[in-house]
C-alpha cells in the first residue's frame, strides 16, 4: 500500500514540477494548465480505481514514450513560439500529454469513457493557441504523438475495443472483441 501511495505522489510531483507559475496567466491559459495535470492524473488514477495493474504499466510505457518523442522534437526542431518566448514550440507537450491520457482511457476502457477526456484535451490545445504559446500545427502534432503512443502500448480491458479508423478514403470505427 505504501509503495502505491509513493508512486501516486511521485506522479503528482512530476506533473506539478513541469508547471510554470499559474498565477501570472490568463484564465484560458491557466485552465488549460490545470487540465494538463487533471487529465493524466484522472486517467492514471482510474487504473487504481478499477485495480488494473496491467493498464497501469501500459500507461507508464505510453507516458514515457510520448514524453521522450515530444521532448526530443521540442529541442531538436527548435521552432519559435508565436509569442517569442522560446524555441520549443513544436510540438505541444500540453496536448501530447492530455491526448496520451485521453487515448489511454479510450483504448483501455472504451470511447464512451474517453469522450470527456478528448473534449478537455481539445480545449487544452485551443488554450495553447489562444495564449499564443503554440501554432495550430504544434497542438495537432502533439495530439497525434500522444494518441499514437497510447494506442501503441495499450490493450483493451474486458476484451472489447472501439477504435477510430482513418484511411485516405474513409473515416470509421473499428469494433474488436477478444475471445
Q: Are 90 and 75 in contact (CB under 8 A)?
A: no
What is the rounded CA–CA span in Å between residue 63 and residue 18?
14
SS3 track for 47-90: HHHCCCHHHHHHHHHHHHHHHHHHHHHHHHHCCCCCCCCCCCCC
What is the rounded CA–CA span in Å between residue 38 and residue 119?
13
Q: For 68-87, how does the pLDDT look when each residue is reduced to its tens digit (9 = 90+)?
A: 999 999 999 999 999 999 99
Would the pLDDT of 98 be above 60?
yes
Alpha carbon distances (Å) from 65 to 23, 87, 125, 148, 153? 30, 22, 20, 10, 9
| Paired strand residues for 127 | none
Q: How confident is the model at residue 6 (pLDDT cuts 50, 70, 90)?
A: low
- Mean pLDDT to the nearest integer, 99-112: 94
> Quick one: pLDDT at residue 70?
96
Element (H, E) at 166: strand 160-166
Would the pLDDT of 18 be above 60?
no
Amino acid at each position: 500500500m505504501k509503495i502505491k501511495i509513493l508512486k501516486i505522489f511521485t506522479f503528482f510531483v512530476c506533473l506539478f514540477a513541469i508547471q510554470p507559475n499559474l498565477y501570472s496567466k490568463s484564465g484560458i491559459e491557466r485552465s488549460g494548465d490545470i487540465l494538463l495535470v487533471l487529465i493524466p492524473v484522472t486517467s492514471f488514477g482510474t487504473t487504481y480505481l478499477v485495480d488494473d495493474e496491467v493498464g497501469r504499466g501500459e500507461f507508464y510505457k505510453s507516458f514515457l514514450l510520448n514524453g521522450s518523442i515530444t521532448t526530443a522534437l521540442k529541442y531538436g526542431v527548435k521552432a519559435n513560439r508565436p509569442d517569442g518566448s522560446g524555441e520549443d514550440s513544436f510540438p505541444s507537450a500540453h496536448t501530447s500529454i492530455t491526448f496520451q491520457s485521453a487515448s489511454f482511457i479510450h483504448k483501455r476502457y472504451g470511447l464512451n469513457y474517453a469522450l470527456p477526456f478528448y473534449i478537455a484535451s481539445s480545449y487544452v490545445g485551443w488554450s495553447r493557441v489562444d495564449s499564443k504559446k503554440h501554432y495550430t500545427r504544434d497542438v495537432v502534432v502533439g495530439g497525434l504523438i500522444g494518441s499514437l503512443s497510447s494506442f501503441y502500448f495499450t490493450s483493451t480491458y474486458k476484451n472489447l475495443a472501439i477504435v477510430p479508423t482513418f484511411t485516405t478514403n474513409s473515416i470509421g470505427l473499428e469494433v474488436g472483441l477478444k475471445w
